Amino acid sequence: MVKRTCLTALGLLTVIACVDGSNSLGDGGLPRPDAGPQDVGPRFDAGDTGPRFDAGDVGPRMDAGEVGPRMDAGDLDAGPEDTGILPPPRECTPGTQVSCPCAQGTGLQGCRSDGTLGCCQCPQPTEREQLACMDQGVIGTWQGVVTTPWRPPYRVQLILRDDGTYASTCLDADCVVFYYGTDGDREGREYDLFDVRSDGRGVARFAVVWSSRSQQWGDVDNLRLDADDQTLDFDFWNTWGDGRRGPIQFSLQRVAQ
């Protein structure tokens, strides 16, 4: 064995020559180009840096969707009937009353059976206050019976909206809600509640729509709401022809939504 000592930039390095006594180092202490591989320790290929792991081998494999227990939308508690639709919030407790301002003094605003506040009942209501009360009270969905001088009574549904439009549906065969025209939703079907008489009855008009979508306005009188705004009665008249034909009498009950 021949030892040769070389001083490098890293410090003092002791190199052991080949076993056969030949010196495998060239000038300057560096290995000769024709020298064989140096037996300096275990061989490692470039990839032999440790145990091999595939990109996915970092733990148990999980698909993108397997991030936890699966829950469908229906697994959430939607309420006693599990319909997924929450009832509208109630404004008040039925049967109670709250005070409300009037043009003269203070009135009472009753809570209706459906949990919504009725209009303000003033001790000495002005015409404007009476009309506002009635205008608010008629909004909703109504069902009941229509009676005319010309045919047996028939059942109807009438939806009155706060934008002055209505939808009409006859619930029996071969009938039209206002006897004249056609039934449907909007498309010229309008109403106008414009006055309250001294006896507290309302005065209005409804537009009847024909198949050509032309309008004919008929008069409404004797419009009456009960104190709880749960019943609606009125008389409709054909006033677009010669004279005044009718009455077509409506007797309706509010339908809870």
Is-contact 120 133, C-beta < 8 A?
yes
Segment holding 142, helix H or strand E: strand 140-147
CATH number of the domain enclosing 147: 2.40.160
Neighbours of 110 (CB within 10 A): 20
Residues contacting residue 12 through CB under 8 Å, at least 6 positions apart: 5
CA–CA separation, 108 vs 161, rounded Å? 25
Sign of CA dihedral 61, 67, 69, 73: negative
Q: How confident is the model at residue 106, as a pLDDT?
A: 92
DSSP letters along 75-114, please? GS---TT--S-PPPPPSS-TT-EEEEE-SSSEEEEEEPTT
Count of structural domains, the chain: 1
Neighbours of 82 (CB within 10 A): 9
Question: pLDDT digit of tens for each residue in the chain (257 aa)?
Answer: 444 444 444 443 333 333 344 444 444 444 444 444 444 444 545 555 555 545 445 445 545 545 445 545 444 444 444 444 455 556 788 889 899 999 999 999 888 877 888 888 898 888 889 999 999 899 999 999 999 999 999 999 999 999 999 999 999 999 999 999 999 998 899 999 999 998 889 999 999 999 878 999 999 999 999 978 899 999 999 999 888 999 999 999 999 76
Pick from 196, 194, 192, 195: nearest CA to 206: 192
Pick from 239, 242, 243: nearest CA to 219: 239
Judged on CB neighbours under 10 Å (0-12, 13-18, 19+), 32 is exposed
Domain residues for the domain of 216 are 139-254
Residue 94 lies in a domain: no
Longest dimension (CA), the chain: 139
Residue 114 lies in a domain: no
What are the phi and psi torsion angles at 109 (to 5°)?
-115, 110
Residue 237 gets the label, from left (phi > 0), alpha (psi -120 to 50) or beta, of beta
Q: How confident is the model at residue 172, as a pLDDT?
A: 96
Residue 47 lies in a domain: no
* pTM of the predicted structure, to 2 decimals: 0.61
